[in-house]
A and B are shown apart, each in its own frame.
Chain A
């Protein structure tokens, strides 16, 4: 457990360090994720060294979003005042992203498959 925590937090810490050193506008957690995948790929660490902890974190990820979601209560006024624009824009745009991304990928993938 300690080793698992050390590796995952280590990746995150290096991410924080990189952000601090370079001032880059990418979150430390994304850098940490890429680093963890790279370390696994290079066989610098074994999958079972992080497996228990990573499974726990991933399967409960949704729960960690509860507190930032509760922050909605602070913006009820803005949301009420601009309710229609906010809801229409986010819903329509999210549907568009789903369709455009999925359609492009499916289309290109089936073309690629038939070319092989």
Chain B
């Protein structure tokens, strides 16, 4: 299976599986068949079966992951497009972000602690709602396991992308701005990419939630953990 360890072949497989997964979601129309989730599961199975190590895959995967940072920079464009609107309702946005950030960190820490998770796991879970680069940074400075955080962040994002709008509807949160904002706050860039599919307004507010919660979590998470005695 030596040839399977070739970067180009691993990249081709990643593109191919993702494309197939996206087609599958289009045909069935099932949101649960999230192409990101399906591709991750399929790739893990493939690597396990062929015995290729994660390190080998990560070599190829880096070429894809690399674009995450420029993609986050690119969110500056929808942010700019909605700047006027955002300025007009600064207070509701800021306060709902603050509430979301504190609840996000405190609740996950509290529940994990209550259920007997180890200290490292608790710290790795704390920044789960925010985008990977921020979450890993926060986790590292507090002494967690950054790559466990990365994996959990993606899972949280998928949960938000798949069930986020459903949860909001059940709780009668119907305003498109509020919906976009909470999707971005709770499930960062993965949720934002789903919100973008729903419409530009949802997407712009989701990127706003992603940015603000990212900033707030970077600033407040260490403090919240300290207060909670972790």
Find out whether the CB atom of B83 lies under 8 angstroms from the CB atom of A65.
no
With A54-B74, A97-B129 already in contact, the answer to whether A105 and B182 are too (CB < 8 A) is yes
- Complex Cα spacing A1 to B215, Å: 30
Find out whether the CB atom of B186 lies under 8 angstroms from the CB atom of A40.
no
Number of A-B contacts (CB under 8 A): 323
Find out whether the CB atom of A72 lies under 8 angstroms from the CB atom of B173.
no
Partner of B183, one of A70, A86, A98: A98
Residues of A within 8 A of B155 (CB): 69, 72, 90
**Chain B binding surface, main DSSP class:** helix
Partner of B44, one of A29, A73, A100: A73
Chain A min CB distance to B123 (Å):
12
Find out whether the CB atom of B152 lies under 8 angstroms from the CB atom of A101.
no
A89 at the interface (CB under 8 A from B): yes
With A62-B36, A67-B65 already in contact, the answer to whether A97 and B147 are too (CB < 8 A) is no
A2 at the interface (CB under 8 A from B): no
Name the residue of chain B whose CB is nearest to the CB of A31: B73
Find out whether the CB atom of B18 lies under 8 angstroms from the CB atom of A66.
yes
Find out whether the CB atom of A101 lies under 8 angstroms from the CB atom of B156.
no
With A66-B36, A94-B160, A98-B160 already in contact, the answer to whether A73 and B152 are too (CB < 8 A) is no
Residues of B within 8 A of A27 (CB): 69, 72, 131, 133-134, 137, 214, 218
Residues of B32-80 at the interface with A, using a CB-CB cut-off of 8 Å, are 35-37, 39-40, 43-44, 47-48, 54, 57-58, 61-62, 64-65, 67-80
With A33-B72, A90-B155 already in contact, the answer to whether A78 and B148 are too (CB < 8 A) is yes
Name the residue of chain A whose CB is nearest to the CB of B35: A62
Find out whether the CB atom of B74 lies under 8 angstroms from the CB atom of A53.
yes
Residues of A52-97 at the interface with B, using a CB-CB cut-off of 8 Å, are 53-54, 57-75, 78, 82, 84-86, 88-97
- Complex Cα spacing A71 to B58, Å: 8
- Complex Cα spacing A109 to B79, Å: 19
- Complex Cα spacing A9 to B193, Å: 21
Find out whether the CB atom of A64 lies under 8 angstroms from the CB atom of B68.
yes
Find out whether the CB atom of A70 lies under 8 angstroms from the CB atom of B74.
no
